[in-house]
Chains A and B, each alone.
Chain A
Amino acid sequence: MPLSKVRQPMPEQCPNERRRNFSEVATGYPAETALIEANRCLQCKTAPCRTGCPVEVDIPAFIQLIRSEKYEQAAQKIKEKSSLPAVCGRVCPQEAQCESHCVLNKKGAAVAIGRLERFVADYERNQGTTKLPTIEAGNKKVAVVGAGPAGLTAAGDLALAGYKVVIFEALHKAGGVLVYGIPEFRLPKDIVAAEVEYVKKLGVEIITNVVIGKTLTVEDLFAQGFEAVFIGSGAGAPQFMNIPGENYNGVYSANEFLTRVNLMKGYDFPNQHTPVWLGKNVAIVGGGNVAMDAARTSMRLGAEHVWLVYRRSEEEMPARREEIEHAKEEGIELALLTNPLAVQGNDKGWVSGLECVKMQLGEADASGRRRPVEVAGSNFVLPADTVIIAIGNTPNPLIPQTTPGLVVTKKGTITVDDNGLTTREGVYAGGDIVTGAATVISAMGAGKRAAKAINEYLAEK
């Protein structure tokens, strides 16, 4: 196999086509490309890449298995640590995690670890030969709240450790943000479904349509014989800007918009019964992954103009580089150093424009980023007929409100120790409900640590 100095590019759908369809943007490495890329790895004994992975996947080992063309074993190797490789291979910010530690960065570009992960996960799934480990089932029961990445991971690990695990999910479908937030063109829903299926095959029972804090409380779960509870309820509450006009028709939170499109398949209305309304000129407020997803989704639903309104400059955007590039290629216009002041509406109560002001960067603030300040008198109106607010989500308060003894921070996140133990015996938490809006892999890492801690706690009990 030839050794290549350059990182193998990811094959992608051409921007002009993909901007109007929901098929996956990146189409995945063919085996030959994966082999070339895998051969770039130096198999470092110290494996610095591993230290950058929140769940410590044995990266050199799985890459070595690819080199021997043992793709299924490579997938198994990853699954020792991560139960959702096809998801992580697509949406993890590898450039800020494992790949940022790769020694090859010094010589040009890191090994494309994420793309290789995606390759083996897809290979295994397409072969349909996913092997199930043998599990010795015990009789102790553990309840998991929320079927997002944190909950699914904790549940999978606990099932492997021999517990009887039941996940309670508020929505009608398992997957959390993976099904209701991240769009199909970045993460196909049948992949999420396959990963959920795998967790079920490990013996985990998933009960949908149960809102913990309403249908059942944490108290009730203990009364039903669950000996420990893991809370992975996420950061689902959308923030608004509290500017005038925010309640006009045509103003969405990114969550509502993306849920209508992804979970409820609003793009297929009326065959699917949930409508989604979108105008021709769409302004998205925000600069993170959520904003990018909302912008690119709007384009795919047929918008003529999509502006991304962000109050700092492109460098400060929290979204993944790759997503920003993809968005620009698809025709999203960046309205940088721009801050919304008010939503304007017509006499029927619909959005007719977004009044903004230009900003400039001043002194660095506590986050080390230069603080945007208004340029006096630079007000202007974007002729938007739809406004989507994507400025962040806060923790869902339902469970903290209804669970006595659970301490929360000022931001509403649940307080836990290093192992995910809350201030209440037997109750653990992890993922966005603890960290605030973060990443898929950090939520999975938290699920894993909590599963380990729960296992130790119940073994002693």
Chain B
Amino acid sequence: MYKIIEKKILSQGVNQLVIDAPLVAKKAQPGEFIILRVNENGERVPLTIADFDREKGTITIIFQEVGNSTRLLGELEVGEGVADFVGPLGHPTQIEKMGKIVCVGGGIGVAPIFPIARGMHQAGNQVVSIIGARNRELVILEDDMREVSDELTITTDDGSHGRKGLVTDVLKELLEDDEPIAEVIAIGPVVMMRAVAETTRPYGVKTIVSLNPIMVDGTGMCGGCRVAVGDKTKFACVDGPEFDGHKVDFASLMARQRMYVEQEKQASTEGGKCQCHCQK
């Protein structure tokens, strides 16, 4: 069992867990992910590494409760644990000194962008961050992001915090600026990542996105996580999860993510309930 050391509720339905996993913590780098199973009947759920502490041997994950598995995960308390926890998986983000880097995080995507922004900052880059959310309650990691960014802009759809509008509005202004941008990194909902890629495309600015297709094993064995990038089929778990946003076929990614929507609804009503009773 992999024990939960700390738990924090960041916003409605968004939890942060610090989990004891020394082997993973030893190797973890920004951009990588883990796969966990909540219990013996669990799905293999991929989650990005939001932070790591090599000395304490812990990994931080931040997740949104969207369905059965993430809800069960959210019900766990400090002292309890998950059945399996494997990683780090995927390629780490390429972090080097490049100049001005724009980090765009949407919603829960701020969690994975945080260690990247920090890494980029430590590597001597000028880090400009934009974090977006639907409303004030859903903004996470604001202070952490401010600490590792030279500039930070917050946008909310309803204007309840920061600027009213979309992350791409701010991004567009930055692109219009004279100062050259070395790279844009965007993590968040697929629609947001696509919008970011479309915004930067005319400017020819390199844009990295982190894709989250449905996964099973995370080691290149099932082919379920395949995404079309350029003319090639790639496996997000071993070839990614980061790809050149200008080459990703977002439409097919979105369709594939919806593969199990109907069944997941069923799980949340039937299996979900059953699970809770069985466990308590």
Q: B27 to A214, Cβ gap below 8 A? A: yes
Alpha-carbon distance A246/B238, docked complex (angstroms): 19
Q: A255 to B222, Cβ gap below 8 A? A: yes
Q: B219 to A259, Cβ gap below 8 A? A: no
A356 at the interface (CB under 8 A from B): no
B57 at the interface (CB under 8 A from A): no
Q: A238 to B263, Cβ gap below 8 A? A: no
Q: B27 to A172, Cβ gap below 8 A? A: no
- In chain B, positions 83-117 with a C-beta closer than 8 Å to chain A are 83-89
Alpha-carbon distance A180/B87, docked complex (angstroms): 19
On chain A, the residues within 8 Å of B274 by CB distance are 270-271
A279 at the interface (CB under 8 A from B): no
Alpha-carbon distance A265/B227, docked complex (angstroms): 25
Give per-residue flags for A197-241: 1 if the beta carbon is below 8 A from chain B beta carbons, else 0.
Answer: 000000000001111001110000000000000000000111010
Alpha-carbon distance A73/B68, docked complex (angstroms): 50
A423 at the interface (CB under 8 A from B): no
On chain B, the residues within 8 Å of A264 by CB distance are 43-44, 216
A246 touches which of B220, B233, B259 (Cβ 8 Å): B233
Smallest CB gap from A215: residue in B: B23
Smallest CB gap from A236: residue in B: B221
Alpha-carbon distance A350/B260, docked complex (angstroms): 12
Alpha-carbon distance A398/B239, docked complex (angstroms): 11
Q: B41 to A396, Cβ gap below 8 A? A: no
Q: B271 to A349, Cβ gap below 8 A? A: no
B244 at the interface (CB under 8 A from A): no
A274 at the interface (CB under 8 A from B): yes
Q: A211 to B256, Cβ gap below 8 A? A: no
User: Provided the pairs A210-B86, A215-B87 are in contact, do residues A249 and B223 lie with their beta carbons within 8 angstroms?
Assistant: no
B228 at the interface (CB under 8 A from A): yes
Alpha-carbon distance A353/B89, docked complex (angstroms): 35
Give per-residue flags for A343-359: 1 if the beta carbon is below 8 A from chain B beta carbons, else 0.
Answer: 00000111000000000
B53 at the interface (CB under 8 A from A): no
Q: A273 to B23, Cβ gap below 8 A? A: no
Smallest CB gap from A233: residue in B: B219
User: Provided the pairs A247-B252, A271-B274 are in contact, do residues A170 and B219 lie with their beta carbons within 8 angstroms?
Assistant: yes
Q: Which of A215, A240, A255, A277 has the most CB of B within 10 A?
A: A215
User: Provided the pairs A214-B27, A249-B255 are in contact, do residues A398 and B219 lie with their beta carbons within 8 angstroms?
Assistant: yes
Chain B, interface size category, equals 35 or more
B224 touches which of A170, A242, A246, A253 (Cβ 8 Å): A253
On chain B, the residues within 8 Å of A272 by CB distance are 41
On chain A, the residues within 8 Å of B120 by CB distance are none
Q: A349 to B255, Cβ gap below 8 A? A: yes
A172 touches which of B68, B84, B88, B255 (Cβ 8 Å): B84
Q: A270 to B220, Cβ gap below 8 A? A: no
On chain B, the residues within 8 Å of A253 by CB distance are 222-224
A270 touches which of B38, B228, B249, B266 (Cβ 8 Å): B266
On chain B, the residues within 8 Å of A259 by CB distance are 216-217, 221-222
Distance in Å: Cβ of B242 to nearest Cβ of chain A? 16
Q: A270 to B271, Cβ gap below 8 A? A: yes
User: Provided the pairs A215-B27, A255-B223, A275-B264 are in contact, do residues A247 and B256 lie with their beta carbons within 8 angstroms?
Assistant: yes
Q: B228 to A238, Cβ gap below 8 A? A: no
On chain B, the residues within 8 Å of A216 by CB distance are 23, 27
Q: A398 to B220, Cβ gap below 8 A? A: yes
Q: A277 to B259, Cβ gap below 8 A? A: yes
Q: A271 to B259, Cβ gap below 8 A? A: no
A-B contact sample (11 more), CB < 8 A, given A249-B255, A255-B221, A259-B222: A170-B217, A172-B37, A211-B219, A215-B27, A238-B223, A247-B252, A256-B216, A274-B43, A274-B44, A275-B264, A275-B267
The chain A residues found within 8 Å of chain B, CB to CB, are: 170-172, 180, 208-211, 214-216, 236-238, 240, 242, 246-249, 252-253, 255-256, 259-260, 264-265, 269-275, 277, 348-350, 396-398
Complex A-B, nearest 6 residue pairs according to Cβ-Cβ distance, in ascending order: A270-B271, A349-B255, A253-B223, A256-B222, A236-B221, A275-B263
